[in-house]
Each structure stands twice: as structure tokens, then as C-alpha cells.
Amino acid sequence: MRLGRLELWPPLLLAPMAGLTHSALRTAILGFGGVGLLSTEMLAAARLPAERPASSPYLVRTAQESPLSYQLLLADDKIIGRVFEALHRLRADAVDLNLGCPAPQVRRAGGGSSLMDDPDRVRRIVAAARKQTSLPLSAKIRLGETLSENGLRDFCRMLADEGIDMLTVHARLRGEPFTRPPRWEWVAKVKQWVDVPVIANGSIDSVDSARACLKITAADGLMIGRAAARQPWVFASIAREVYGVAVPEPDVRLPRLYADFVASLNERFLPERRLGRLKEFTHHFATNYFFGHHLAAKVQASESIEQAWEHAEAFFALNDSERTQQG
């Protein structure tokens, strides 16, 4: 699959997730393989030019973390020149525009899904971005506020006409919670409306759900979010089983995975930035265990990363057997 000048294979993409898709998680995923495009978490565009790449938890990366798409949260086109200068300096492999985030603080600032209410502003942003860069440019959307075929079709076509190279569709309306089944059939509609590659996103967490989603959507690729934090080997499994890619069968050892994750945080993040990220990750990772809520609660209550690690070691000693791990 092509994203501008990048060839993505397999067409399995890591979703941008605030607090989760940083260097440590990306490294865990790469350890298993099967991922075609990595992502940063969303980056506040206005702050980007001043961030320090060596110490910012949003920007820290190793040379192995490639190709890496940088996701921008931006509300207007005025700062785009400076923002893309920074992205070129950072050697972004691709840039994604966040048009779907429903978080109230993001919407109040005029970003995320509020942009879908103002297609003219989005048109200006995309046109300005396209002028500033030859990097692959993508956009990530939800289905909108309410279901509207005409509205969504016009919006998607506008993005493609202005030079977006790939469109990712999180198949839910703005207000819909993750517990609601995704509306994959709407990704199939988008796929028919535009010529650029369309990526399906929403509740893809296994080989079976990947197959089911592809069958319904005929999407050019799949984007995986929460399952990547729970099971960083999910890309390798889908790459092997669905796309026939020759990556090794995942050799999953949860305590080692967790230990490596903690080591990556310690190596790459400033001390005050480590514990919060471990708590975010543990919230998802712990669901691999029947008694994972015990681990999550202990890590949540920890006051240092060392204390969190001690709790995790004690938990693994008691719980790490075949019987106590979930699917």
C-alpha cells in the first residue's frame, strides 16, 4: 500500500494514542514485528517548534522507530509554516492531521473533531500543509456528529482533492463510546467515495476481527489502537495470518515484555515523565491476566517507578502461568 512516497507493508498501522504511543510502546511493538507504520501520540502543533526532541516524551525516538508518522493537533493554518519546518527538522516520515478527537478540551481549542464542523477551515489547513511539504500527508476522522452520507462524502472528497494521501476512518460517531460496536460498513462507503487509500480503525484487536473488518470494509489497511497497548504482538499475528508476511510467530512472555517496557522508559524519559506512562500502559497490559486489576491497582497507587516495578514483580511471581493469562 502506498502512502505518498512511502510503501507500507504490511498495511497495519499503529493508532496515535495520547500517553501511550511513545518510544517505549513503539519499541515493544517492533520487537514482534508486523507493523507497517508507527505513530506518535497527538502533538499540539503550536508547541511543537519549541519542544526539545532529546527530552520531550512526545518526540523521543530511536533510529529503529521508522517509518514514523507524526500526528498534529492544529486548529488553524497560520502557524503551519513553522510547524512543518519543525517536522522536517525532526525527520518525520509522514504527517497525520487529527480531525477526529472528541475530547472536550481539544474541541474547545478548535481542534480534533470540531474541525469536521468547519470544512472551509479544514480545506485551508490541508491546502496550507500540502504547500509546505512533500511528506506523505494523511488525515484521521470519525464519522461525524450524526450519520450523514452526503456530509461525510463531501468532507472526504474535499480532503482528497486538497492533497491528503491517505484517510483513516475511526468508524464511530463523535459521541460514541468505545463500548459501542464500530460502524465498519461506513468505512466501506468512504472507500467507494475516494481514490486515496482508506484505513479502517475501531475495535480491531485480533486476527479474526481483522479479517471481519477487511471483509466488510475492503479497506486498504487497518489501524490498531488499544489492542496494541494490550498485546503489542497483535500486528505480528495479523501480519502472518491475514497478510502472509514472514514474521516470526510471536514468542510472548508477558513479564519480560513489561520489564523491557520499564527499561525503555528509564532509558529514554526524564524521571518525572516515566511513572505516568507506565500507569497508562499497565491499564491496558494488565487485562492480559484474569487478576490483572490487582496489578493495575497496585501500579496506579505507586509513587515511583521503582515501587511500581516491585509490585509488578510480586504480581508476576504469583500470576504468571498459563492458567492466569487471558487469551
Q: Which of 224, 234, 257, 275 binds ligand FMN (CB under 6 A)?
A: 224
DSSP H helices in 56-141 = 80-89, 104-108, 119-132
64-to-60, 99, 264, 294 alpha-carbon distances in Å:
12, 28, 13, 34
Size, binding site for ligand FMN by CB under 6 A: 22
**How far is it, in rounded angstroms, from Cα 247 to Cα 255?**
22
**How far is it, in rounded angstroms, from Cα 26 to Cα 35?**
10
Residue 199 as a binder of ligand FMN (CB under 6 A): the answer is: no
Residue 232 as a binder of ligand FMN (CB under 6 A): the answer is: no
Q: Which of 28, 29, 72, 101 binds ligand FMN (CB under 6 A)?
A: 101
Residue 183 as a binder of ligand FMN (CB under 6 A): the answer is: no
Cβ 186 vs Cβ 217: under 8 Å: no
Residue 94 as a binder of ligand FMN (CB under 6 A): the answer is: no
Q: Which of 24, 30, 42, 236 binds ligand FMN (CB under 6 A)?
A: 42
Closest by Cα among 36, 12, 29, 10 to 284: 29
Of 82-90, 97-105, 237-245, 250-258, the segment contacting ligand FMN by CB under 6 A is: 97-105
Closest by Cα among 301, 13, 237, 251 to 138: 13
Residue 98 as a binder of ligand FMN (CB under 6 A): the answer is: yes
Nearest distance from C-beta of residue 153 to ligand FMN, angstroms: 21
Of 122-130, 220-228, 247-255, 289-297, the segment contacting ligand FMN by CB under 6 A is: 220-228
Name the residue nearer to ligand FMN (CB basis): 170 or 183: 170
Q: Which of 22, 61, 170, 183 binds ligand FMN (CB under 6 A)?
A: 170
* Residue ranges in 270-299 that form contacts with ligand FMN under rule CB under 6 A: none
Nearest distance from C-beta of residue 37 to ligand FMN, angstroms: 13
**How far is it, in rounded angstroms, from Cα 298 to Cα 292?**
10
- Number of Cβ within 10 Å of residue 104's Cβ equals 9
Q: What is the DSSP letter of 312?
A: H
Nearest distance from C-beta of residue 132 to ligand FMN, angstroms: 21
Residue 20 as a binder of ligand FMN (CB under 6 A): the answer is: yes
**How far is it, in rounded angstroms, from Cα 209 to Cα 206?**
5
250 sits in the region (left: phi over 0; alpha: psi -120 to 50; else beta) called: beta
Cell numbers linked to 217? 470494509
* Residue ranges in 111-150 that form contacts with ligand FMN under rule CB under 6 A: 140
| Residue whose C-beta lies closest to ligand FMN | 225
Catalog residues that contact ligand FMN under the rule CB under 6 A: 15-20, 41-42, 71, 98, 100-101, 140, 170, 201-204, 224-227
